[in-house]
Chain A
Amino acid sequence: MAKAIKIAAPAPAERRAALAGQELSAAGVTLAVLPPAERISLRAPDASIAALSKALGVTLPRKPKTSASRAGRTALWLGPDEWLVIDEAEKDPLADCAKVTVLHSAVGISHRNVAISVTGPAAATTINSGCPQDLSLGAFPVGAASRTILGKVEIVLLRTAADTFRVECWRSFSDYVFTFLSEAAGDAAA
């Protein structure tokens, strides 16, 4: 019987991200699976926003369909009390929130989501193959963020530049999303 606490020190388990490194180039648009990032789903009432913003170092946006970004960390408004916080600077937003005592819920979802970048002049057309939202710069400007639909799955869409979007989806849907975008990219280029 193994009763004692075993302190083993094996090599840490290898991280195998879904679709790691996949890319596709078509005329006018390039798709790339982005490297892993730290992510939390943050939920909080209005009264907690200031303290959480301070702890995270980025002001949580209050306006629908917007995002805020600072030092490699982006907070996307997903709902009136819901933000997706993505950290690409290898810092841990979950740990930052753990220090905050005001009412909130922070849950780690770094491995739940996979991000795909869609970039190039045909990026919006590519996404519009399956996304029913108006993605013109007037309706969906740089920095706009929204949970929405792509084909038959849910995605979170963030416009990071006039011709660049970040598409976030759940891990097991990433194959579908990448395949969908690949097919759409070919058509958008045609």
Chain B
Amino acid sequence: MIAAFRIPGAGRLKQAETARFSFDGQSYSGVEGDTLASALLANGVHLVGRSFKYHRPRGFLSAGAEEPNALVEIKRDAARKTPNVRATVQELYDGLTAQSQNRWPSLSFDVGAVNDIASPLFSAGFYYKTFMWPKAAWKNFYEPKIRAAAGLGVAPDQPDPDHYSARFAHCDVLVLGGGAAGIAAALAAAETGVRVILADEQADFGGSLRFESGAQIEGQDGFAWAQAAVAKLRDMDNVRVLSRTTAFGYYAQNFVGLVERVSDHLRNPGGELPRERLWQVRAKRVVLATGAIERHMVFADNDRPGIMLASAARTYLNHYGVAVGRNVGVYTANDSAYAAAIDLKKAGVDVAAIIDLRDNPTGPVIDEARALGIEVNFGRAAIRAGGKLRVSSMTVQPKNGGGERTIPVDAILMSAGWTPSVHLFSQSRGKVAFNDETKRFVPGTYAQDCVSVGACNGTDGLSATIDEAYAAGAKAAKDAGASVVKGTKPKVDASESWSRGMLGAAPGAGPDTTVKAFVDFQNDVTAKDIRQAVHEGMHSIEHVKRFTTNGMATDQGKTSNMHGLAIAAETLGKPIPQVGLTTFRAPYTPVTFGSIIGHARGPLFDPTRKTAIHPWAEAQGAVFEDVGQWKRAWYFPKAGEDMHAAVDRECVTVRKTAGLFDASTLGKIEVVGPDAAKFMELLYTNPWEKLEPGRCRYGIMLREDGFIYDDGVVGRLAPDRFHVTTTTGGAPRVMNHMEDYLQTEFPHLNVWLTSITEQWAVIAVQGPKSRDIIAPLVEGIDMSDEALPHMSVREGRICGVPTRLFRMSFTGERGFEVNVPADYGQAVWEALWAEGQKHGACAYGTETMHVLRAEKGYIIVGQDTDGTVTPNDAGLDWAVGKKKTDFVGIRGMARPDLVAKGRKQLVGLKTKDPKVVLEEGAQIVEDPKQAIPMKMIGHVTSSYWSENCGRSIALALVAGGRDRMGETLYVPMPDGTIEVEVTGMVFFDEKGERLNG
């Protein structure tokens, strides 16, 4: 069945398949190729939404991306609900389900419309003024209420099930806009052989050729020519043609962001297809062919459903074969609306009258309208529209006043003229210039390697447009490096042309009125609001914009900005260029979060780094914790164990027999070269020149300010080769820090740095039985205490593969760290595990590692230090080479504040009640009875239950801490104050005998 307003024989969708859809629960039928807007109009539906502030009924203003009113929610399933979709760009597919927004309980009866009646309360600046007092009420009352009532659409409440993709692309010539101008420019550039990308936001190329029935190019209808030309471009290897692709942002150095809507128009999206694809294109030259947007007339109740842009009505007719009414009125200040009236009349639609604000315009379209018997009235204004849910009449009056006449209509087509789309040009930081004659802003001064052509450049007429665009396309290609220019310019046989028009409010909505003559439909801004803003002191257009919110809705004022500016200028009594245009900002049309995020979600949100031994730990049921991007085994619970039980068992087992720990994530840097020791002397506080090859040293790295930056054990493998370890989290920045000094401060040193973090898997074997576990697997290394004392390193083999075997301890027990090439990590671990089982060893995780090192008072940089701790503060003065004359941080460390008395120093804390475990980060005071705010003298940095000590232990930074040994301090907590005693930092094996035990 053909829908009521589909005109047989009209439009280009005559052969299209039927597509069923629903809107607000009602089923309708459209055809493939329709937009949701054209399909609804074909069914006579104009009322599709309620406005933002006044909840006024709204219909379709446009047939394109500039649409401010017809925003709907498209629902595919529970998770796929997209709010604020412009019905004028949503392509119809069979089964599409759409809902109106911003109304309750229904679209035709909306309680919120009371705002319309109460609108004197809601004039410009209403929010700023009304909710200022009392101050506290804003947060607790006004804001939540306003937020609940305001807003456009409802955000989906489930994770987005679609996926999005992204691509970087490079080209010589990027053409933005696929109307006649863009196609001509792309043809010219493509024929030279350079790389061309042509993008247009619509499904079909052609731009205004979709509705310009009078255009003839190369002997055929303009739209048909466009399709043929684009087909030719698609066949060229050097051209990429992107439809449904919006250039939303123009950034520095010809970097343009585009979103391609890949599957929103498909009945069954999904599978491999992303929903959207982000293109980040770097172009040598950009051709802007973004066209122009028709403006509406500003008069009372110009927002009633059925009132739309003349070009929109023409598009619905000439492209979709849909009449927007049966008896239409026309209100214009421009010739282009005549063309719409003529096309509709010829299609059998009654045209009640053309009301032309101009006094005595002449031209062929006017003659043709008259010849078709259409009533044409000059010098008259439509001062008011009748009807509520649908326009029912227009009331007309001579523009200088006089008798009113009401004409019954079911649609009004309006045109105040055309605004060049300079959005992308302006985003490129180009400066627009005002043409006083044509009353429009056009590209003035360029800031980047781009050129505007056609309507966006203020060029009128198809012939002139194609001449300009073709020449610009060829020049862009040449500038981008093309040597051959061939091909022929498309020949224009017939065209339409119009310029001029009016800006601002028409008579009837003039300065003395209080009517609702809308300037910005989406934000409900009227001509009166803009005048009021000026009267209240907003003299800059940027202030007017923010006070009234004109142009600040999701449509970014595509239809409203020029009217708003003109009204402000008139009220200010200044010429338009002096008032100035607000800045155009990205995005041109709304962009989904999904397209910006692209691939970066789920496993690709952030890399998850796993060690070579990870699969083993996973199979053992380890619980993992995130350390930066790394997954580290946190603890290894046995059946029935909670974390505390597992950690207690691991801690005891390591000290009793032994434990295996995956330390692979430690940063590792190989420092190689004849000046390696000199470099180490400069980057670490410690002395290195005299460290024997085969021996290790605990090193501290400072920043130039004298604060601890990183630490780690360093082994000297050879006179010219050090194996440096860093903290897990510090690895990348330490490498950067070392490279920085090497390249820029000490470039004379012959030494190089290589990250070997991932070359070596590291298995720490710690505990009294550690040597017994390792020794049977090792070849070529004497494991005796004499040959391999604490803090030494040997190269040899283990399990038949190369190893760098460190004898070192982060537990205070006899310990080793077995480095093996990463791919052997798991197999060597398994061999060590098998040996360990013979001795009752356990696997332990990072939690046990933390507890064991705290029992020994070994610090963790980043936990016990926070970037304001000096070696002295941390009790590490012994690691600073006293005879050294230079190292990074030597001067910073000597600053007056860093050597002053009373600095916070790292100490141990024992709670008076040994069962109480302090909270890390808890603050410490001297006198718990003092008034709040209390004077805090330090804080807890590390705190654990130590099963080995049978009590809780803690480390803390306390002012003058080392002079407070034995003192009682207090940790006030919400549920009571905890008494603590200041102690040394070593809680277990104070003499360190177990290192050789």
**Contact status A190-B273, CB under 8 Å:** yes
Are A186 and B777 in touch, CB under 8 angstroms?
A: no
Query: In the complex, A41 Cα to B673 Cα: how many Å?
Result: 13
Q: Which residue of A lies closest to B282 (CB)?
A: A134
Contacting chain B: which of A8-16, A51-59, A63-71? A8-16
Known A3-B784, A7-B779, A8-B777; contact A15-B272, beta-carbon cutoff 8 A: no
Are A172 and B758 also in contact (CB < 8 A) when A10-B800, A13-B827, A15-B824 are? yes
Asked, given contacts A13-B820, A108-B759, A132-B280, whether A152 binds B167 with beta carbons under 8 Å apart, the answer is no
With A15-B823, A111-B758, A112-B756 known as contacts, the answer to whether A2 contacts B282 (CB < 8 A) is no
Interface flags for A127-151 (1: CB within 8 Å of B; 0: not) read 0111111101001000000000001
Whether A184 pairs with B165 at a CB distance below 8 angstroms is yes
Contact in complex: B801, A13 (CB < 8 Å)? yes
**B778 at the binding interface (Cβ < 8 Å):** yes
Contact (Cβ within 8 A) A2 B771: yes
Kindly state whether residue A73 has any CB partner on chain B within 8 Å.
Answer: no
B640-695: which have CB < 8 Å to A?
A: 670, 672-674
**In the assembled complex, which residues on chain A have CB atoms less than 8 Å from the CB atom of B611?**
172
Least Cβ–Cβ distance between A110 and chain B, in angstroms: 7
A151's partner among B282, B599, B755, B783 (CB-CB below 8 A) is: B599
Contact A189–B778 (Cβ < 8 Å): no
Query: Which of B166, B750, B782, B823 is close to A111, meaning CB atoms less than 8 Å apart?
Result: B823
Given contacts A172-B611, A179-B603, contact A129 B165 (CB under 8 A): yes
Q: What is the CB-to-nearest-CB distance from B797 to chain A, in angstroms, rounded to a whole number? A: 9
Chain B residues near A125 (CB-CB < 8 A) = 167
Q: Which of A107, A171, A186 contacts B758 (CB 8 A)?
A: A171
CA distance A180 to B608 in the complex (A): 12
Are the CB atoms of B672 and A105 closer together than 8 Å? yes
Contact flag A8-B779 (CB < 8 Å), given A173-B609, A184-B599? yes
Interface centre among A36, A43, A139 (most CB of B within 10 A): A43
B758 touching A132 by the CB < 8 A rule?
no
Is A179 a contact of B604 with CB atoms below 8 Å?
A: yes
- List of B residues within 8 angstroms of A132 by Cβ: 168, 280
In the complex, what residues of B have CB within 8 A of residue A110's CB? Answer: 759, 821
Give Cα distance in the complex from A184 to B757, angstroms. Answer: 28
Asked whether A100 is an interface residue with its Cβ less than 8 Å from the other chain, the reply is no
| Docked CA distance A173–B608 (Å) | 7
Q: Could you jot down 25 A-B contacts, CB within 8 Å? A: A2-B772, A6-B779, A8-B777, A10-B831, A13-B801, A13-B828, A16-B823, A36-B823, A103-B750, A105-B673, A105-B751, A106-B672, A109-B754, A111-B759, A129-B168, A130-B599, A151-B599, A170-B758, A171-B612, A172-B758, A175-B607, A176-B604, A179-B603, A184-B599, A190-B262
Contact with A along B621-649 (1 / 0, CB 8 A): 00000000010000000000000000000
B-contact 0/1 string along A1-35, CB 8 Å cutoff: 11101111111111111100000001000000000
**From A131, which residue of chain B is reached at the shortest CB distance?**
B168
Beta-carbon contact of A112 and B800 below 8 Å:
no
Alpha-carbon gap, A17 to B262, bound state (A): 38
* Residues of A contacting B756 in the complex (Cβ-Cβ under 8 angstroms): 107, 109, 112
Q: Does B780 contact A (CB under 8 A)?
A: yes
How many whole Å from B759's CB to the nearest CB in chain A? 4
CB distance from A149 to the nearest CB of B (A): 10
What residues of chain A lie closer than 8 Å to B772, measured between beta carbons? 2
B671 to chain A, nearest CB (A): 9
Interface residues of A (CB under 8 A from B): 1-3, 5-18, 26, 36, 41, 43, 45, 81, 103, 105-113, 125, 128-134, 136, 139, 151-153, 170-173, 175-176, 179-180, 183-184, 186-187, 189-190
B978 within 8 A of A: no
* Most interface-central of B262, B272, B610, B782 (chain A CB within 10 A): B272
Interface residues on B, range: 35 or more
Q: A6-B778, A10-B800, A129-B599 are in contact. Are A183 and B165 (CB under 8 A)?
A: yes
A11-B800, A179-B603, A183-B604 known; A111-B822 Cβ under 8 A: yes
Alpha-carbon gap, A39 to B754, bound state (A): 13
Chain B residues with CB under 8 A of A45: 750
Distance (Å) between the CB of B615 and the closest chain A CB? 8
**A13 contacts B771, C-beta separation under 8 Å:** no
Is A109's CB under 8 angstroms from B759's CB? Answer: yes
| Residue B590, interface by CB 8 Å | no
Q: Are A187 and B272 in contact (CB under 8 A)?
A: yes
Which of the listed residues B169, B754, B756, B782 has the most CB atoms from chain A within 10 Å of its own CB?
A: B754
Roughly how many angstroms separate A1 CA and B788 CA in the complex, as a whole number?
Answer: 13
Contacts of B673 in A (CB 8 A): 103, 105
| Interface flag for B775 (CB, 8 Å) | yes
Contact between B607 and A186, CB atoms less than 8 A apart: no
Q: How far is the CB of B762 from chain A (nearest CB, A)?
A: 12
Within 8 Å of chain A (Cβ to Cβ): is B970?
no
In B877-901, which residues have CB < 8 Å from any A CB?
A: none
CA distance A172 to B760 in the complex (A): 12
| CB atoms of A6 and B775 under 8 A apart | yes
Most chain B CB neighbours (cut-off 10 Å) among A5, A108, A153, A184: A5
Within 8 Å by CB of B754, from A13, A36, A41, lies A41
Question: Which residues of chain B have C-beta atoms less than 8 A from A2's C-beta?
Answer: 771-772, 775-776, 783-784
- Complexed CA–CA distance, A22 and B678 (Å): 45
Shortest C-beta distance, B547 to chain A (Å), equals: 41
Q: How far is the CB of B172 from chain A (nearest CB, A)?
A: 10
Contact status A152-B607, CB under 8 Å: yes
CA distance A186 to B280 in the complex (A): 19
Q: Which chain A residues border B758 with CB–CB below 8 Å? A: 111-113, 170-172
Does B715 sit within 8 A of A, measured CB to CB?
no
Residues of B within 8 Å of A131, CB to CB, are 168
Q: Which residue of A lies closest to B631 (CB)?
A: A172
Since A105-B673, A106-B672, A111-B822 are in contact, a sample of 11 more A-B pairs with Cβ atoms closer than 8 Å, ordered by chain A residue number, is A5-B781, A9-B800, A11-B800, A15-B827, A16-B824, A16-B826, A17-B823, A43-B752, A43-B754, A113-B758, A176-B603
B775 to A176, Cβ gap below 8 A? Answer: no
CB distance from B194 to the nearest CB of A (A): 11
- How distant is the Cα of A179 from the Cα of B168 in the complex, in angstroms? 18
CA distance A81 to B747 in the complex (A): 12
Q: Are B166 and A129 in contact (CB under 8 A)?
A: yes
Chain A residues contacting B827 (CB-CB under 8 Å) are 13-16
- Are B599 and A183 in contact, with the CB atoms below 8 A? yes
Question: Would A151 and B820 be within 8 Å (CB), given that A16-B612, A41-B754 are in contact?
Answer: no
Separation of A156 and B167 alpha carbons in the complex (Å): 19
Interface string of B814-848 (1 = CB under 8 A from A): 00000011111111100100000000000000000
A111 and B821 contact, CB distance less than 8 A: yes
Tell me if B274 is interfacial: C-beta within 8 Å of chain A: yes
Smallest CB separation, A122 vs chain B (Å): 11
Q: B157 at the A/B interface (Cβ < 8 Å)?
A: no
The list of the 8 closest CB pairs from A to B, nearest first, reads A12-B800, A13-B827, A172-B609, A43-B752, A105-B672, A105-B752, A13-B799, A176-B607
Tell whether, in the assembled complex, residue B780 and residue A5 are in contact, meaning their CB atoms are under 8 Å apart: yes
Kindly list chain A residues whose C-beta atoms are within 8 Å of the C-beta of B822: 18, 111-112, 171
Inter-subunit contact B607/A139 (CB<8 Å): no
Which chain B residues lie closer than 8 Å to A171 at the CB level?
612, 758, 822
| CB-CB under 8 A for A13 and B831, given A129-B599, A176-B607 | yes
Contacts of A175 in B (CB 8 A): 603, 607-608, 610
**B975 sits at the interface (CB 8 A):** no
Give the distance in Å from the alpha carbon of A139 to the alpha carbon of B782 in the complex: 55
CB of B170 within 8 A of CB of A139, answer: yes
Q: Is B606 an interface residue (CB 8 A)?
A: yes
B210 interface residue per 8 A CB criterion: no
Which B residues lie within 8 Å of A8 (CB)? 776-779
Instruction: Please report the C-alpha to C-alpha distance between residue A11 and residue B824 in the assembled complex, in whole angstroms.
Output: 13
- Cβ of B600 under 8 Å from chain A: yes
Taking CB as reference atom, which chain A residue is nearest B598? A129
A171 to B824, CA, bound (A): 13
Query: Is B195 among interface residues, defined by CB-CB distance under 8 A?
Result: yes
Assess whether B277 is interfacial by the CB under 8 Å rule: yes
Chain B residue, CB-CB nearest to A20: B823
